[in-house]
Amino acid sequence: MSATVKLNQGREKSLLRHHPWVFSKAIASVSGNPAPGDLVRVEDSGGNFLSWGFFSPASQIRVRAVSFVEAQVPDEKFIRTLVRKSCKRREALVAQGNDGVRLVDSEGDLLPGLVADRYGRFVVISISSQAIEACRDWILKELFELFPDCSFYERSDTRARQKEGLEERCGVIRGEEPPEVIYVLEGGQVKIPVEIPHGHKTGAYLDQRAARIYCSSLCKGRSVLNCFSYTGGFGLWALKGGARSVVNVDVSGPALDAARQGVVENRLDPGRCKFIRADVFDFLRKQVKEGAKYDVVILDPPKFAESAGSLKRACRGYQDIARLGFMLLNDGGRLLTFSCSGLVDPALFQKVTADAALDAGVQAQIRATLRQDSDHPVSLPCPESFYLKGIDAEVM
């Protein structure tokens, strides 16, 4: 018999809407003494079934729900079916010439805390919840069957995992050790550098694929400044799109080295690009002081808002870099600015960007709004799964 989590009166609304998170403050009682990762039945205050989920006593998200049908108990078959369906949904992206694809994206694919990315012959998984830790063997069995020719590597080293009371785990699961840098084809045209063992996330930012391809269409004959460039994905697509010049700026030397080699791998003109290791905020201020100008400025920073308490500071950061970006643009120039902070919703991000334009003394209009690519799906009842938003703003 599974353990039971009973909610306080009136705290069942989110589960009735199939939101997968149950916070500790919503819980009235826990019976059955569940261990970390154990399956629990979640009930409302009257004892009515709400969901099946996995228990995490160390986390503020005490239960992560994976089934909202009482008869659908999350057993091995249930979990493996979710994994298989998720991978199946990515086949269209692979057919479009993408060797790097997110196979499973956490809440967006009804598997909260699981990320699985395929980079050519490597599959990289990242587990950040007790729920998925409990199902790890089932998930790997399914992925092994789906991708029998791939090597598997784990990058379960996130801060979210620490909050769940889980130790970090990284290394080869099956097959060969990945090289420090590999290259995956994107959009059938550009090879993107991926740093599996020591890079950000699982090695690359697949969520920006659509935005990178879009950016390419804006760059022909134009000067481009690519800030927080990491391994240079936006810069490579800008060069592919015919940019006159590209300046990549990042604080990481190894990432810039990978970006530089990416130019060679793609047989693009190294004479049209520069690689500058610097703090982006300092670099932008220096460029403004020197009167530098560009036709396209790309701002793709890391997450500024890690918690609700840091939201105001994060917004100041987004506004500051956007202000500086606007000041560096020629007339008719384009600012592509992004936020991957889920706490910053699209309306707030537009306001922050509008305030930045006002501070910079420019008029600008939105030419396009951008978002995470389709292999990073948004769950309708879980708005937190919509985290990456971008604005293409043209200076008038």
Which domains are seen in the chain, by residue range?
A: 3-67 (2.30.130.10), 76-174 (3.30.750.80), 198-395 (3.40.50.150)
Residues 136 and 127: beta-carbon distance below 8 Å: yes
User: Catalytic residue among 135, 315, 340, 382, which?
Assistant: 340
Instruction: Kindly provide the residue ranges of all beta strands, DSSP E only, lying in the chain, ordered along the sequence.
Output: 3-7, 21-23, 27-31, 39-43, 49-55, 61-67, 100-105, 114-119, 122-127, 151-156, 169-174, 182-186, 190-194, 223-227, 245-250, 273-277, 294-299, 329-339, 364-371, 389-395
Average pLDDT over residues 242-262: 97
Paired tokens of 110: 């009804």
DSSP state of 204: S
- pLDDT on residue 165: 93
What's the CA gap between 8 and 28, in Å, rounded?
5
pLDDT per position as a tens digit, 47-74 = 999 999 999 999 999 999 999 999 999 9
Is the per-residue pLDDT at 1 higher than 80? no
pLDDT per position as a tens digit, 330-382 = 999 999 999 999 899 999 999 999 999 999 999 999 999 999 999 999 999 99
- pLDDT on residue 307: 83
Q: For the chain, what percent of residues have pLDDT higher than 90?
A: 95
Average pLDDT over residues 277-282: 97
Average pLDDT over residues 125-154: 97
- pLDDT on residue 306: 81
pLDDT per position as a tens digit, 86-96 = 999 999 999 99
- pLDDT on residue 241: 98
Helix (H, G, I), strand (E, B) or coil at 276: strand
What's the CA gap between 86 and 313, in Å, rounded?
36
Q: What is the mean pLDDT of the chain?
A: 96
Specify which of 139-148, 310-319, 336-345 reaches the highest per-range mean pLDDT.
Answer: 139-148
Average pLDDT over residues 174-189: 97
Average pLDDT over residues 99-125: 97
Average pLDDT over residues 221-243: 98
Is the per-residue pLDDT at 291 higher than 60? yes
**135 part of the active site:** no
Q: For the chain, what percent of residues have pLDDT higher than 70?
A: 100
